[in-house]
A and B are shown apart, each in its own frame.
Chain A
Amino acid sequence: MSVTVAQLKRGQKGIIKEFAEDILPIKLLELGCLPGNEIELVQVAPLKDPIYINVNGSHIAIRRSVAQKIELDIIDDTNVL
């Protein structure tokens, strides 16, 4: 199933799909948001935004608007809280 980071549940993981080059800021790519890498949703802020993820070992928080642009293939459904 293909979803975006914004749709993940806490503890859920996915693999980043290929994306068009200029939708994501270069900073995110440097932090490891590259196609093929794994993203885990760690926390969502109380007002549903920002979203706290672990990507490729980097723990970062991004805003929902950006998270909606990152498409994933979900890999692990067993760990959902």
Chain B
Amino acid sequence: MSKQINVALIGNPNTGKTSVFNQLTGLNQKVGNYPGITVEKKEGICKLPRGVKAHILDLPGTYSLNTTSLDESVAVELLLNKNDKDHPDVVVLISDVENLKRNLLLFTQIKDLKIPTILVINMADRMSRKGISLDIALLEQKLNTKIALVSTRKSTGIEHLKELITDYKNLSDASIIDTTVIAPDYFERLRNAFPKEDLYKLWLVITQDVNFMPIKKKAINDASNFTTKSKSELKRLQQKETILRYQFINGILKETYKVDLSTAKGFRATLDKILTHKVFGYLIFFLILLTMFQAIYDWSSYPMDFIDASFASASEWVKNNLPPGAFTDLLAEGILAGIGGIVIFIPQIAFLFLFIALLEESGYMSRVVFLMDRLMRPFGLSGKSVVPLISGTACAIPAVMATRTIENWKERLITILVVPFTTCSARLPVYLIIIALVIPEERFFGLSYQALTLMLLYLIGFGAAILSAMVLNKILKIKSRTFFVIEMPNYKLPLLKNVVYTVWEKTKSFVLGAGKIILAISIVLWFLGSNGYSEKFKNAEEIVTNRINESGLSEFNQSSVNEDLSIYENTLRDSIAQVYNLGPAVISDSLQQHKAILLEKAIHQEISSYKLENSYIGNLGKAIEPAVKPLGYDWKIGIAVLTSFAAREVFVGTLATIYSVGSDQEETIKNRMAAEVNATTKKPLFNLASGISLLLFYAFAMQCMSTLAIVKRETNTWKWPMAQLVFMSLFAYIVALAAYQILK
């Protein structure tokens, strides 16, 4: 196979670079991280004419090669380092026809690195509407390269671009601007000190803000025969360079670029006026959020229920159709349940990113940032943290993924760290059942106490997020760009293809990236919950059967069996027996059968309850009882709290198993919980004090391994998820402890 052509796509943000990338590679793309850092790396393969293939690398968007962020320095480093395996044979610079002047600044810089550079002028379909005319032939001549006029919206020009890439060897690699004129003496000295190096490349290394390629930079600083300049002198030179480049560009565009200013400018101005209006602006944003929530909470519940049911029946099928044994159990209750726990998040992630992609593509997201920036600033955040923080109210996982739009690393990290405090939908079932148990149903000025408590919990979550952001902003010493500028791109109709790609790619990266960790932890938790070392665990069935034979079922099960039986008997006598004209013998037979089924179910429940009690998790729950007792919990709640680390909503299910309530009916579980008595105080276990303590614990504790997994993926280290786990859980413990001790 012949060697692939290495192509790097580079361009300003909002030029449609991603669209061009999607058009070139189709679904042949791969998204990962650059080794050791959290900058997204997108690459793909493109089939070119005459059987040639190209490896396309989509570099992070940047305005110039004067880097101020990690993302940008990735681009520069790749362009400077000839030995990198991805070092481009040819650069494709994507520009937008309306902002050509600004885009050409980057073009001239890359051209001066002596790499063949194809200029793509995107959004060509807008030219006539915007009154723009271009002399392409003259522009090609002046810029000493080839130009592809492309419209990703209309899918034109891509074939021409592919031709140009295939023939990249015909392109000139000469530089076009002599930078040394900005400081002839300085560059002369540089030349004398490093005769073998390219001056412009040296200049770039010297002026980098971000500490990259430290060795090379150090070599320059250490060179005895060369003294580098002070920071402000360098900055003055950078300014001179920028002016020089703009002069060059202005000169060229004067001859080749004509724009008729009288054509439409009105649409953008009108929309801006409405969308950033002090009343309508917030109102529209609020309505959009409402729709987003509706989708994430409500619409996604249909596919989620379907996924839940499918995995439950798949696991049932495995249990019934495979030979019983450890492997079948592992498959049915460990692996399948674990995969189900990953797949269940897909609808929410897909919906959130559908909305985010639409908002980004249309240009609306920048307006949200503009509207919200001032409000977020006191907390060390900017307008860019708003969407992740708010989406955290649905689920922290997509919210953490959504922080990728924040370029400032410190701000992004803070947002990632505080997002899990916002009340996600998995906390809801726990909140609802405990509120129903411990908060009176009375009303306060027409407002129900229960509703108020729920609202308070949401506010507490949001408050905790914002306050911890403030604290983190003070504590974290991360050098990163503090300067804030947002480009306000033109409004565009979102391209379906780009939206679909974003949703697909985010979902895939969740399933593949965090999925592995989630699966592993669920299997461990399953193992701990279904295995035990003690004799009690091994002989659970025998012990429980003996106990039932001696003293009967537990009180709760006895009464629930009797209740169920009498309901059954009544329906049988009142309706069915009359319709079918059944005799008393048939009725008593049927009753006997039904009773047998109920008893078997009850015995089975008591065995599982006993098994869980004596499993490793059960032992662990008992072991931590001294620790949770001051919070007002017993070992059973302790077990539920422990299993909640798989996912918070498991709390209710675990309690159902422990209390051997065989039903998924929330009402039944609630009644069983209400009947539970604290062994030492002889008062109800779930009272106001322990209930509030539990609510607060769930509000603050980091009990979601899926979030931990995604934070690990997004920060590329275990350090931050572990810090979250320890600090949030510790904080939760202290608050819950204080609440119980005060209210007790």
Does chain A bind chain B? yes
Chain B residues lying within 8 Å of A80, measured Cβ to Cβ, are none
Choice from B209, B232, B235, B370 contacting A61 with Cβ under 8 Å: B370
Chain B residues bordering chain A, tally (CB within 8 A)? 42
**A34 sits at the interface (CB 8 A):** yes
Complex: chain A residue closest to B238, CB-CB: A26
**A4 sits at the interface (CB 8 A):** no
Q: Are A60 and B239 in contact (CB under 8 A)?
A: no
For the complex, give the distance between the alpha carbons of A26 and B246 in Å. 14
Q: Are A45 and B236 in contact (CB under 8 A)?
A: no
Contact A52 B272, CB 8 Å, known A21-B236, A26-B238, A63-B484: yes
Complex: chain A residue closest to B269, CB-CB: A42
Q: Are A50 and B102 in contact (CB under 8 A)?
A: no
Chain A residues lying within 8 Å of B99, measured Cβ to Cβ, are 57-58
For the complex, give the distance between the alpha carbons of A42 and B99 in Å. 17
For the complex, give the distance between the alpha carbons of A25 and B101 in Å. 19
Chain A residues lying within 8 Å of B209, measured Cβ to Cβ, are 26
Q: Are B485 and A61 in contact (CB under 8 A)?
A: yes
Q: Are A45 and B371 in contact (CB under 8 A)?
A: yes
For the complex, give the distance between the alpha carbons of A52 and B281 in Å. 14
Chain A residues lying within 8 Å of B277, measured Cβ to Cβ, are 46
**B105 sits at the interface (CB 8 A):** yes
Chain A residues lying within 8 Å of B282, measured Cβ to Cβ, are 46
**A75 sits at the interface (CB 8 A):** no
For the complex, give the distance between the alpha carbons of A28 and B483 in Å. 10
Contact A22 B243, CB 8 Å, known A50-B374, A59-B489: no
Q: Are B375 and A47 in contact (CB under 8 A)?
A: yes
Q: Are A46 and B371 in contact (CB under 8 A)?
A: yes
Interface 9-mer from B62-70, B467-475, B539-547, B677-685 = B62-70
Chain B residues lying within 8 Å of A27, measured Cβ to Cβ, are 63, 68, 483, 485
For the complex, give the distance between the alpha carbons of A22 and B68 in Å. 15
Q: Mask for A10-52, Cβ within 8 A of B = 1, else 0?
A: 0000000000011001111111101000000011011111101
Within 8 A of A (CB), among B236-272: 236, 238-239, 242-243, 246, 269, 272
Q: Are B488 and A60 in contact (CB under 8 A)?
A: yes
Q: Mask for B80-103, Cβ within 8 A of A = 1, else 0?
A: 000000000000000000110110
For the complex, give the distance between the alpha carbons of A57 and B101 in Å. 8
Chain B residues lying within 8 Å of A7, measured Cβ to Cβ, are none
Q: Are A26 and B370 in contact (CB under 8 A)?
A: no
Within 8 A of B (CB), among A47-75: 47-50, 52, 56-63, 66
For the complex, give the distance between the alpha carbons of A53 and B374 in Å. 17
For the complex, give the distance between the alpha carbons of A18 and B371 in Å. 31
Chain B residues lying within 8 Å of A34, measured Cβ to Cβ, are 239, 242-243, 246
For the complex, give the distance between the alpha carbons of A62 and B374 in Å. 11
Contact A46 B68, CB 8 Å, known A21-B232, A29-B242, A34-B246: no
For the complex, give the distance between the alpha carbons of A50 and B376 in Å. 12
Q: Are B273 and A43 in contact (CB under 8 A)?
A: yes
Q: Are B236 and A22 in contact (CB under 8 A)?
A: yes
A63 smallest CB distance to B (angstroms): 5
For the complex, give the distance between the alpha carbons of A63 and B243 in Å. 23
Complex: chain B residue closest to A63, CB-CB: B484
Contact A32 B232, CB 8 Å, known A49-B373, A58-B487: no
Q: Are A25 and B68 in contact (CB under 8 A)?
A: yes
A50 smallest CB distance to B (angstroms): 5
Q: Are A45 and B373 in contact (CB under 8 A)?
A: yes
For the complex, give the distance between the alpha carbons of A63 and B373 in Å. 9
Q: Are B486 and A60 in contact (CB under 8 A)?
A: yes
Contact A25 B246, CB 8 Å, known A45-B371, A49-B374, A58-B99: no
Choice from A28, A50, A59, A66 contacting B373 with Cβ under 8 Å: A50
For the complex, give the distance between the alpha carbons of A28 and B68 in Å. 12
For the complex, give the distance between the alpha carbons of A32 and B485 in Å. 13
Which 3 A-B pairs give the minimum distances between C-beta atoms? A46-B278, A47-B374, A21-B236
List 16 extra interface pairs beyond A30-B242, A60-B488, CB under 8 A.
Answer: A21-B236, A25-B68, A27-B485, A28-B485, A30-B102, A30-B105, A31-B102, A34-B243, A45-B371, A45-B373, A46-B371, A48-B374, A52-B488, A57-B99, A58-B102, A63-B373
Q: List 16 A-B contacts (CB under 8 A).
A: A22-B232, A26-B66, A27-B68, A27-B483, A42-B488, A43-B273, A43-B276, A46-B371, A50-B486, A57-B98, A57-B99, A59-B490, A60-B486, A60-B487, A61-B366, A61-B488
